[in-house]
């Protein structure tokens, strides 16, 4: 199992209901309303945490919920707010909705993002006393919680990606030049998961290298481990392409380079547009025809103009020079990485009826208009408690409430509903 993808369900907390109660005091036969407000439901956040490197913790648990708000209580007591849910993810995690649209890319400046807002706490009946309605038996229910399924995908952010056939010495190189400690073995697909390392080698400046599992012909059709790991190098600036210069397994390095580049192109033609450095590894084991393999590769790729280096990851030959060349190629690249734009905001409920318009006017009044609104007002008496209740429900169920929230409405603001003016209270 690989820990770079996970599907989870997230849920914000429901708002606590407002409470209906009346003061009971000695000698006071009919106390006024004293029902407290419900607490707000918890929000759901994604937060980048440098100590988290994989999405492993999201593979075993499927559902993550923020806490619900508590109901309001007697004597004007406010219910407790639900606790927020903080989901820690590694930098470079992209969050998608279940249609594959990007919700947020946790990269670059984005370190914390609120995906779902908890329901508002409902107002207790203490707020609803008016001169004509002194004993309101009505309190507002808490705002709904929201539950969605999301897919998390980690697209590692490294400066440099190592690509190549299995067993050519990519991991040996990474272990030699960085702090990483990858598994090395004389067999194919020793590396099963991408690994990052920070270069720590003599006087070479630091940069980050990603070692990914080996690629073989047909990987783009799913052969071997497939090309799914290429997403980890989508955002790298330089590709370092390893081949076995000594042909230990009898392979032809030039044919191998062509084969891997074909797979890269199938995955994303952009990958071939970035700087690529060819490394003929295992030079310590070169014999016969392979001794001048570096110049042979250079000749074969004259057109592409790839720089070619002969090294030995085992003896260290050629490594320092190679690292400086990689560092130079990387430095020429601007420092910004691809950051995916958000395409959807699951926090906003779409207004069900496209005819209903909700907007904030220049006069700072919030307007709710449309044929259906006029119709609703036609059969609803807003001055009666029942009518008002119905109206509240209508606003909520049609997504208008959420839209008002998103527009930044606050207590005391004026709302114009089809010509009727209200003061807004949540």
Ligand X SMILES: Nc1nc2c(ncn2[C@@H]2O[C@H](COP(=O)(O)OP(=O)(O)OP(=O)(O)O)[C@@H](O)[C@H]2O)c(=O)[nH]1
Residues binding ligand X (CB under 6 A): 166-172, 184-186, 188-191, 213-214, 281-282, 284-285, 312-314
Out of ligand X, Mg ion, none, what residue 77 binds, judged by CB under 5 to 8 A for its kind, is none
Nearer to Mg ion, 251 or 298 (CB): 251
Partner from ligand X, Mg ion, none binding residue 21, C-beta < 5-8 Å depending on class: none
**Whole-angstrom distance, CA of residue 143 vs CA of residue 44:** 15
Distance, CA of 300 to CA of 294 (rounded, Å): 10
Residue 191 Cβ vs Mg ion, minimum distance, rounded to whole Å: 3
SS (H, E, C) the chain: CCCCEEEEEEECCCCCCCCCCECCECCECCCCECCCCCCCCCCEEEEECCCCCCCCHHHHCCEEECCCCCCCECCCECCCCCCCEEEEECCCEEEEECCCCEEEEECCCCCEEEEECCCCCCCCHHHHCCCCCCCCCCCCCCCCCCEEEEEEEECCCCCEEEEECCCCCHHHHHHHHECCCCCCCCCCCCCCCCEEEEECCCCCCCCEEEECCCCCCCHHHCCCCCCHHHHHCCCCCEEEEEEECCCCCCCCHHHHHHHHHHHHHHHCHHHHHCCEEEEEECHHHCCHHHHHHHHHHHHHCCCCCCCEEECCCCCCCCHHHHHHHHHHHHHCCCCCCCCCCCCCCCCCCCCCCCCCEEEECCCCCEEEECHHHHHHHHHCCCCCHHHHHHHHHHHHHCCHHHHHHHCCCCCCCEEEECCEEEECCC
Q: Which is nearer to Mg ion, 183 or 265 (CB)?
A: 183
Partner from ligand X, Mg ion, none contacting 314, C-beta within 5 to 8 A by type: ligand X
- Selection from Mg ion, ligand X, none that 185 binds (CB < 5 to 8 A by kind) is ligand X
Partner interacting with residue 313 (select from ligand X, Mg ion, none; CB below 5-8 Å by kind): ligand X
Residues near Mg ion (CB under 5 A): 171, 190-191
Q: Least CB distance from residue 202 to ligand X, whole Å?
A: 18
Q: Which does 166 bind (CB under 5 to 8 A by kind): ligand X, Mg ion, none?
A: ligand X
Is 321 or 410 the residue whose CB approaches ligand X more closely?
A: 321
- State the minimum distance, in angstroms, from the CB of residue 71 to ligand X: 57
Q: Are strands 85-89 and 112-116 parallel, antiparallel or unpaired?
A: unpaired
Question: Closest separation between CB of residue 52 and ligand X, Å?
Answer: 24
Binding partner selected for residue 172 from Mg ion, ligand X, none, CB under the kind-specific 5 to 8 Å limit: ligand X
Complex with Mg ion: residue 3 or 190, whichever CB lies closer: 190
Nearer to ligand X, 20 or 163 (CB): 163
Q: Identify what 6 binds: ligand X, Mg ion, none; CB under 5 to 8 Å per kind.
A: none
Neighbours of 292 (CB within 10 A): 12
Nearer to ligand X, 9 or 285 (CB): 285
Nearer to ligand X, 93 or 191 (CB): 191
Q: Binding partner of residue 95 among ligand X, Mg ion, none, CB under 5 to 8 Å per kind?
A: none
CB of 153 to ligand X, least distance (A): 22
Smallest distance from ligand X to CB 216, Å: 9
Instruction: Provide, rounded to whole angstroms, the least separation between the CB of residue 245 and ligand X.
Output: 9
In the bound state with ligand X, the residue whose beta carbon lies nearer, of 220 and 414, is 220
102 binds, among ligand X, Mg ion, none (CB under 5 to 8 A by kind): none
Which C-beta is closer to ligand X: that of 8 or that of 216? 216
Give me the least distance between CB of 101 and ligand X, in Å please: 34
Enumerate residues 6+ apart whose C-beta is below 8 A from 394. Answer: 376, 380, 400
Shortest Å distance, C-beta 316 to ligand X: 9
Q: Distance (Å, rounded) from C-alpha 8 to C-alpha 11?
A: 10
Cβ distance to Mg ion smaller for residue 174 or 339? 174
Instruction: Give least dist CB 283 to ligand X, A.
Output: 7
Backbone angles phi, psi at 328, to 5 degrees: -65, -45
């Amino acid at each position: 199992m690989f820990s770079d993808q996970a599907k989870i369900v997230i849920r914000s907390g429901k708002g606590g209901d407002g409470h209906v109660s009346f003061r009971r005091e000695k000698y006071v036969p009919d106390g006024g309303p004293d029902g407290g407000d419900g607490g707000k439901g918890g929000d759901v956040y994604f937060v980048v945490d440098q100590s988290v490197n994989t999405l492993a913790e999201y593979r075993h648990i499927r559902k993550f919920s923020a806490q619900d708000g508590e109901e309001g209580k007697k004597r004007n007591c406010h219910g407790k707010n639900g606790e927020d849910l903080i989901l820690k993810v590694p930098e470079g995690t992209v969050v998608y909705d279940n249609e594959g649209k990007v919700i947020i890319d946790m990269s670059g400046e984005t370190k914390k993002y609120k995906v779902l807002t908890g329901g508002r706490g409902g107002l207790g009946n203490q707020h609803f006393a008016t001169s004509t309605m002194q004993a309101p038996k009505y309190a507002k229910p808490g705002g709904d919680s929201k539950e969605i399924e999301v897919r998390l995908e980690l697209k590692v952010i490294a400066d440099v990606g190592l690509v190549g056939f299995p067993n050519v010495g990519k991991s040996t190189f990474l272990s030699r030049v960085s702090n990483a400690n990858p598994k090395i073995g004389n067999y194919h697909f020793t590396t099963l998961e991408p690994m990052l390392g920070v270069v720590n080698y003599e006087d070479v400046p630091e940069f980050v290298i990603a070692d990914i599992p080996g690629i073989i012909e047909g990987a783009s059709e799913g052969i071997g481990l497939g090309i799914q790991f290429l997403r980890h190098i989508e955002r790298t600036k330089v590709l370092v392409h390893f081949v076995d210069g000594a042909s230990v397994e009898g392979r032809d390095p030039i044919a191998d380079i062509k084969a891997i580049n074909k797979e890269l192109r199938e995955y994303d033609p952009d990958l071939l547009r970035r700087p690529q450095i060819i490394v003929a590894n295992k030079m310590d084991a070169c014999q016969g025809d392979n001794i001048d393999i570096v110049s042979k590769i250079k000749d074969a790729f004259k057109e592409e103009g790839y720089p070619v280096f002969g090294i030995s990851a085992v003896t260290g030959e050629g490594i320092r020079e190679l690292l400086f060349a990689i560092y130079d190629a990387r430095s020429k690249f601007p420092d910004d990485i691809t950051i995916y734009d958000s395409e959807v905001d699951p926090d906003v409920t779409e207004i069900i009826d496209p005819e209903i318009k909700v907007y904030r006017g220049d006069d700072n009044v919030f307007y709710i208009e449309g044929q259906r609104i006029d119709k609703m007002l036609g059969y609803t008496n807003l001055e009666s408690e029942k009518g008002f209740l119905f109206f509240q429900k209508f606003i909520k169920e049609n997504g208008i409430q959420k839209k008002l929230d998103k527009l930044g409405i606050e207590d005391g603001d004026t709302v114009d509903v089809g010509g009727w003016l209200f003061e807004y209270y949540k």
